[in-house]
């Protein structure tokens, strides 16, 4: 099985006529993703990569029976694009765009609470079920089919750890990049619960980083509710307090939480081994399987 995306996912790409949207639409199609429509206001009637373009997500979903959206639009338009997707019939929205204002994401997060829509991101690489479909910018060639679930805040770290797993013959059920912003649609606990309920996922990798308390909260969830073994990695161990490191959410306030040490301790207390290197994470997964 898989989580969130599979062969039946029918995708509409918001921003398909832009450079990034067009390029990654081609990449997704080449991977086998069922991209059925694009949505760009004022561009209805065009075609991109053989995909029909509509003026709105609602129209695209209605005409092409789309059930997922991927957003490739500039930050100044991303908030409206996310709201449009949430208000449409699609069940899954993946926002790749970086730079969505936090105050806008607070409004979006409240809106999500009134719907059944799942939002991945923003500022994320997307998600993939190897051999079936990918939504976003993930390099499909490094993933392989298997029985390990993967969730990460960092895109680059995702690629490194996945490459280590795949090179050892350890494939993945699905992999989800949730994004590194302070406010995102789907967090660690949401994805961990999906993997826990997936009968084909026998082990999970969770890659976090300094800043916020998401990893500590995920550790508490793992310790109380999960039977599937989890291995972890925390990036940013050498980052000085108060300095942002790459992601907007990767900043330690000095409050005693959000540090690499506090996250590692919380995970260890929940029975989650945390690798010092991405390669060590693969060692733990090998021991689980």
DSSP string computed for 172-196: EEEEEE--SSSS-SS-HHHHHHHHH
Q: What residue ranges of the chain are covered by domains with CATH 3.40.50.720? A: 10-120
Model confidence at 246: pLDDT above 70: no
Domain 10-120, CATH number (from 3.40.190.10, 3.60.21.10, 3.40.50.720, 3.30.70.920): 3.40.50.720
Catalytic residue, candidates 24, 153, 247, 263: 247
- The model's pLDDT over 154-177, given as tens digits with 9 standing for 90+, comes to 888 999 999 999 999 999 999 999
Q: What residue ranges of the chain are covered by domains with CATH 3.40.50.261? A: 139-288
pLDDT, position 238: 62
Q: How far apart are CA 41 and CA 238, in angstroms?
A: 45
Distance of alpha carbon 148 from the chain centroid? 15
What b/e sequence results for 92-110 when a residue is b if at least 16 CB atoms lie within 10 Å of its CB, and e otherwise? bbbbbbbebeeebbeebee
Q: Which CATH class is domain 139-288?
A: alpha beta
- The model's pLDDT over 104-144, given as tens digits with 9 standing for 90+, comes to 999 999 999 999 999 999 999 999 999 999 999 999 999 99
Q: What angle do CA 186, 120, 250 make, to 5 degrees?
A: 70
Question: pTM (2 decimals)?
Answer: 0.94
Give the residue-averaged pLDDT of 75-85.
97
pLDDT, position 250: 46
Q: Taking all residues of the chain, what is their mean pLDDT, rounded to a whole number? A: 93
Give the residue-averaged pLDDT of 270-284.
96
Query: Catalytic residue at 24?
Result: no
Interacting residues of 285 by C-beta distance below 8 A, sequence separation 6+: 148, 165, 170, 203, 205, 231
Which tokens hold the place of 58? 């609602």
* Confidence grade of residue 252 (pLDDT, cut at 50, 70, 90): very low
């Amino acid at each position: 099985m898989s989580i969130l995306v599979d062969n039946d996912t029918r995708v509409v790409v918001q921003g398909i006529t832009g450079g990034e949207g067009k390029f990654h639409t081609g990449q997704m199609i080449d991977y086998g993703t069922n991209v059925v429509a694009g949505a760009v206001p004022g561009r209805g009637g065009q075609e991109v990569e053989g995909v029909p373009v509509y003026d709105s997500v609602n129209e695209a979903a209605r005409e092409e029976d789309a059930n997922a959206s991927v957003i490739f639009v500039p930050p100044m338009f991303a908030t409206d694009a996310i709201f449009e997707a949430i208000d449409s019939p699609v069940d899954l929205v993946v926002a790749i765009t970086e730079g969505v204002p936090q105050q806008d994401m607070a409004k979006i997060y409240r809106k999500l609470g009134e719907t059944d829509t799942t939002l991945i991101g923003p500022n994320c690489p997307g998600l993939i079920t190897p051999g079936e479909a990918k939504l976003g910018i993930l390099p499909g060639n490094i993933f392989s089919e298997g029985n390990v679930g993967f969730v990460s805040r960092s895109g680059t770290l995702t690629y490194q750890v996945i490459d280590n797993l795949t090179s050892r013959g350890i494939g993945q059920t699905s992999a989800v990049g949730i994004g590194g912003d302070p406010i995102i649609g789907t967090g660690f606990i949401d994805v961990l619960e999906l993997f826990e309920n997936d009968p084909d996922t026998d082990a999970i990798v969770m890659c976090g980083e300094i800043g916020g308390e998401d990893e500590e909260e995920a550790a508490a969830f793992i310790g109380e509710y999960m039977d599937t073994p989890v291995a972890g990695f925390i990036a940013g161990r050498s980052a000085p307090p108060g300095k942002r490191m790459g992601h907007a959410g990767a900043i330690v306030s000095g409050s005693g939480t959000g540090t690499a040490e506090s996250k590692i301790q919380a995970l260890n207390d929940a029975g989650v081994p945390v690798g010092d290197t991405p390669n060590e994470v693969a060692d733990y997964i090998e021991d689980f399987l």
